[in-house]
Amino acid sequence: MATFTAIHVRNADLESLVKSVMRLAAIKDRRFGAYPEDYCSSFLSDEHAVPNYLLIRESEDGWITIRHNSFRKMESWAKTWSRDYVCEVLVTTAQTTADSYYFAYYEDGKQLRLIDTCYSTDCEMVNRGEPFDFEGPEPGQVHVWDDEECYLFDLDSIDHYCKRFGLTLQFDPTDHDWIILKGAQDCPTIHQLVQLRLKQGSKRRPWWKFWK
C-alpha cells in the first residue's frame, strides 16, 4: 500500500453523514458502485486542498469510513462530526513510500489525541494529547533491532490503534461497493504533475548530446 487517507466516524447516521460530506466538499452528485479505477491517481498535489473525490462505506462494526483524495488534516470536519453526531472520529493517513503516518482521535468536538510523524524527513514526531490506556511510554509498537528495543509508529501501529476502537481498516477497497462522490477539481493531481514532468523531460536533449 502506498497511500491511505481516510476519516472514520462511529455510530453516525449514514445518510445524514453523506449529505454533510457533500455539503462540505461542495459536491452535488453521488452514485453507488464498485471501487473506481481512477481513484488511486486522483490525489491532489495541494496538501491543503479540500478533497473532491470521496468514497463512503458503512462497515459491520458500526464505523463509517470516508476515503478521500487529499492530504489535508481534516480537523474541522472531524470536530464538526464528533460534536454533531456525539461520536468518536478517527483520522488516519499513511504514505508508506514517504514513511509518513498520521493518527488523530476526536470526541465531543475536540481533538484529544494526535500522532504525526515522517521518518523520511528530519522532523520531530508530533505527540499531542493524553496517551491511550493501551499505549506504551512512546507512540506505536515495540520493535527490536540488534537486541535493542525501540518504538515505531507506522501503518501497523495505525491498524493496531484502530482495532482498539473496534475498527478494522479496509486495506483492499476493491472488495466492497462504495457511495462515490466526485466533484470539480481545483488543483492538479500528483499523477498529473508527474506525467507533465515526464513529458517535459522527454523533450530535453539526450545527455550524450550535451557535449556536441
Task: Kindly state whether residue 183 falls inside one of the protein's structural domains.
Answer: yes
Tens of pLDDT, residues 138-171: 999 988 877 788 899 999 999 999 999 999 998 8
**Tally of structural domains, the chain:** 1
Spans of the chain, pLDDT less than 50: 207-212
Is 211 inside any structural domain?
no
In a domain, 60, yes or no: yes
Task: Tell whether 12 is covered by a domain.
Answer: yes
Domain that holds residue 70: 3-203
In a domain, 194, yes or no: yes
In a domain, 210, yes or no: no
The pLDDT, as a whole number, for residue 1 is 55
CA-to-CA separations, 136 to 15, 64, 157, in angstroms, rounded: 38, 28, 12
**Cα gap 93→3, rounded to integer Å:** 8
Per-residue confidence (pLDDT) for residue 210, from 0 to 100: 42
Position 110 scores a pLDDT of 98
In percent, the amount of the chain with pLDDT more than 70 equals 94
Does the residue 212 lie in any domain?
no
Residue 209 lies in a domain: no
